[in-house]
Amino acid sequence: MSKTTGLDRQIDQGMLVKMVMDGFHRIIVHYGVWFAEVQHQIGLEKALKVEEEVWQATLGNQLDRLGKTLGFSTENGTPAFLQTMSQEALLDLIEKISINWLANDGIWFQAVEQRFGMGDAKRCNDTCWTRFSPFEAARIKNLLGLPDNGGVAALKKALAFRMYAFINEQSIEEVSDTCLIFYMNNCRVQAARKRKGLADYPCKSAGMVEYPTFARTIDSRFVTECVGCPPDPHPAEWFCAWKFTLQEE
């Protein structure tokens, strides 16, 4: 019986590069699988708290190790060079990350649609939002240090820090101290379809899980109402609109 340890030193350069990239791929998927299973076993609210603990531990651990190999230093769990970048460069980086996020979402949708049809793609998409939207809200809540019952002020601030906010045009109408209406004035996806002469993508079913779960994660007292979202007709000034109202428990 032969025994091997470590990598085969005879592997060629091209294969080694592929293995590096595939390693990152496996880490990303494994992380997501863990989160999905913890959510399944103990519920979303508890899983979000566990994930926050895991992320803080694993991010610094992985970057410190990679930094020693790739020649960059880390500071408080992040690459130190980020601290020296200009505000303009960081804003550009955040925009590119947000575009990558949206492109990744679209690639997944199209891959499922091409193989299994629009119905299955929409069903997968809508279910993904039941998980991602509260996750994103929890991340923003943690990032900004928002209180559990921050009301309209907290929701207004949180909506400005979504991935969508960095690549779409949106506005908010504060109806009262307990109510606001959010407008997606220009949606990158819908605008692209419009340029191609296509009808609006019917995203209302996704929005009906995306926006309520986001708002309730920011403040559990919010009730969400769809003002309009494709396939609903809408004015030229916005593609979709959502009304959030605080209801005392």
Q: What single string gives the DSSP state of each residue in 107-169?
A: HHHHHHHHHH-HHHHHHHHHHHHHHHHHHHHHHHHHHHT--TT-HHHHHHHHHTTSTGGGTSE
The pLDDT score that the predictor gives to residue 11 is 85
Length of the chain: 249
Choose among 162, 149, 160, 141: nearest CA to 52. 141
The pLDDT score that the predictor gives to residue 10 is 78
Q: Please list the rounded mean pLDDT of every run of 10 residues in the chain (249 residues).
A: 61 90 96 95 95 93 94 92 95 96 95 96 95 96 95 97 96 97 96 93 96 97 98 96 91
- For residue 19, count CB atoms less than 10 angstroms from its CB and return exposed for 0-12, middle for 13-18, buried for 19 or more: exposed
Which residues does 13 contact at the CB level (< 8 Å), separation at least 6? none
Per-residue tokens: 31: 């992380």
Contact 125, 106 (CB under 8 A): no
The pLDDT score that the predictor gives to residue 16 is 87
- Give me the residues paired with residue 240 across strands: 184
pTM to 2 decimal places: 0.90
The pLDDT score that the predictor gives to residue 248 is 78
- Give me the residues paired with residue 228 across strands: 241
The pLDDT score that the predictor gives to residue 77 is 85
The pLDDT score that the predictor gives to residue 76 is 86
Helix (H, G, I), strand (E, B) or coil at 29: helix
The pLDDT score that the predictor gives to residue 239 is 97
Distance, in Å, from the CA atom of 63 to the CA atom of 55, rounded to the nearest integer, reads 12
Structural domains of the chain, ranges and CATH numbers in brackets: 17-78 (no CATH), 85-248 (3.30.1380)
Distance, in Å, from the CA atom of 244 to the CA atom of 146, rounded to the nearest integer, reads 17
